[in-house]
Copies of this chain bind each other. A is one copy, B any other.
Amino acid sequence: LRNGYPEVIYCEDKTTDEIKGIVEKMMERNQNILATRADEEVYEALKELTDDLEYYERARIVVIQKEEIELSESKILVMTGGTSDLEVAEEAAITAEVMGNTVERAYDVGVAGIHRLLAQKDKMAEANVIITVAGMEGALASVVSGLTDKPIVAVPTSVGYGANFDGLAALLAMLNSCASGLGVVNIDNGFGAAYLADSIINQIEAARE
């Protein structure tokens, strides 16, 4: 749809052969390609197709870059509660970058140490959209939302155990936030968070012109 915008392939339920086939066809169109939920094996297979590729291991993303990516003036800030939320956060951050957004990161600033979170106020002030990534009780989203009036994309993660029920606790927390202004995406859906943030940035960039 948009120029310079990547084609996307979600690798989770596909065999390596299928993925290779799909990417090969995509490459004919000479666009950038974003392969999410890609493991080492997928990366190795895609390396056989081209050298213009990069593997972001923590984000489980392979990027095949054919066109220059021009970064937005607007900024997306990605925040996480803990270090275990990193995978999902990086999925969001890399996706947003490949889609042409300037991305800032503020990781491991969860509410158990509120002062580290308060120290991010400047970064929040500079951002146009904030993506909060948090597992366990997911309180990060509420606290950040109380500190800013920027639009917030809240990503619950499945980090935790027991009564966490694979991310349900964080999901419910974010949906019930006492601070308004949150849009929630599926558990562990870093890609979807970036996509939504990107669609907001698109509107802002368009208005700048």
Contact assessment for A146 and B181 in the assembled complex, using a CB-CB cutoff below 8 Å: no
Q: Does chain B have a CB within 8 A of A40?
A: no
Most B CB contacts (10 A, CB to CB) among A113, A187, A196 go to A196
Residues of chain A having any CB pair with chain B under 8 Å: 1-2, 12-14, 18, 74, 81-84, 110-114, 118, 128-129, 136-139, 142-143, 145-147, 149-153, 156, 158-189, 191-192, 195-196, 199-200, 202-205, 207-208
Instruction: Give the shortest distance, in Å, between A100 (CB) and chain B (any CB).
Output: 13
Contact assessment for B169 and A172 in the assembled complex, using a CB-CB cutoff below 8 Å: yes
Q: List 12 A-B contacts (CB under 8 A).
A: A13-B84, A143-B143, A152-B199, A153-B183, A158-B162, A162-B166, A162-B186, A163-B167, A168-B172, A172-B173, A203-B203, A204-B204
Closest 10 CB pairs of A and B: A183-B183, A162-B187, A139-B139, A169-B172, A112-B179, A180-B195, A137-B173, A112-B146, A207-B207, A13-B84
Q: How far is the CA of A145 from the CA of B1 in the complex (A)?
A: 14
Oligomeric state, in copies? 8
Instruction: Give the shortest distance, in Å, between A28 (CB) and chain B (any CB).
Output: 19
Contact assessment for B199 and A181 in the assembled complex, using a CB-CB cutoff below 8 Å: yes
Considering the complex, give the chain B residue whose CB is closest to the CB of A147: B114
Q: How far is the CA of A187 from the CA of B112 in the complex (A)?
A: 20
Considering the complex, give the chain B residue whose CB is closest to the CB of A207: B207
